Amino acid sequence: MTPPDSIGATMPTNEAIKSSSAAPSPTDSGGGEPPIHRRPWRTLRKYATIFRVSLSERMTYRSDFLIGTTLRFLPMVTTILLWQAVYVGSGQASLAGFNYNEMIAYLLLVHISRMFSSMPGLAGGIAREIREGTLKRYLTQPVDMIGYLTSYRIAHKVAYITMSFIPYAILFFICRNYFETFPDPLTLLAYAISLILAFMVGFYFEATVGMVGFWFLEVTSLLYIVMTLNFFISGHMLPLDLLPQPWQGILKALPFQYMAYFPAVVFLGKVRGMNLVYHLLGELAWAVFFLVLARFLYRRGLRRYGAYGG
């Protein structure tokens, strides 16, 4: 149940943070406050620098990305054989609206979904920084922690997607016969938007979970339970349509479906028209909700933060 981009995923290093602090900050004018209209541009340059430094750091592990991705495809062989046995044993050509080819295509597509939405090490890393006191490095430098981690994680995703593109392209070429139709340009656009929003939902959800470290000293067990449940209820193991009611309806009303299930069914053309628009707006709403919640918990947590350790 390891997320697809777990290789090399760590919290930012001190070197990366020090490099980013060299970027102009909103108060780095040399002679007082900079003009108001220049502050957004300086902030943008600062986080662009963070992205560039983090990307260089992540590309150091490109061999691990490549080898890890290739080896992770091996279980797909057993998955294909397993679902072939399920369909043959059921005696039905379609299960919950998915024929055999669509089921395999779905299981391939959720790997892409999780490539964007999974954030290995993020929640645990935040909790560890709080516990060990190293969180204070964000408080003594002109860098917002959540903004920094966002730039850092985007750099990690860019590095991972770049290095795993060829293995994924080979896999999808080999399995091309499972894709009975190719989506039209509008569906592809909706699919791309759903993946970007999946990143936002996944990132800010895990950041929110990591903030629990302000109130609890040890959160390892809690994080394990949350992430294990997330792996299942996001639809990574099987389409949510296969679950009986009311569980299917409940899970489709939660934000976790947007981390794996929703982008896959968009590509397969199972969500169309205004229903697709409503779901994309719902995905955006959940991303904003977790963003606001993460920042709220961060500010509340800092009030009780003692900066011990480190």
pLDDT in tens, 120-168: 889 999 999 988 888 888 888 778 889 889 988 998 888 888 877 888 8
Q: Tell me what percent of the residues of the chain surpass a pLDDT of 70.
A: 76
Q: Does position 299 have pLDDT exceeding 80, yes or no?
A: yes
> Could you tell me which residues come within 8 angstroms of residue 131 by beta carbon, excluding any fewer than 6 positions away?
213, 217, 218, 309
In terms of Cα–Cα distance, which of 76, 260, 98, 271 is closest to 183?
A: 271
Q: What is the pTM of this model?
A: 0.80
CB–CB of 298/211 below 8 Å?
Answer: yes
Q: How many other CB atoms sit within 10 Å of the CB of residue 159?
A: 22
Q: What is the pLDDT of residues 54-108, one digit of tens each?
A: 666 655 655 665 566 666 666 777 888 889 899 999 888 899 889 999 999 999 9
Q: H/E element holding 99?
A: strand 98-99
Residue 120: which residues within 8 A CB-CB, separation 6 or more?
2, 3, 5, 6, 9
Contacts of 236 (CB under 8 A, 6+ apart): 110, 113, 114, 259, 260, 261
Q: Using alpha carbons, list the distances in angstroms from residue 269 to 172, 188, 276.
A: 18, 10, 10
Supply the pLDDT for residue 12. 60
pLDDT range class, residue 23, cuts 50, 70, 90 = very low
Paired with 99 in beta bridges are 94
Mean pLDDT of 175-191: 93
Give the residue extent of every domain in the chain.
Answer: 14-302
Q: Which residues pair with 95 in a beta bridge?
A: 98
User: Which has the higher per-residue pLDDT, 63 or 202?
Assistant: 202
Using alpha carbons, select from 245, 14, 34 the residue that is nearest to residue 132.
14
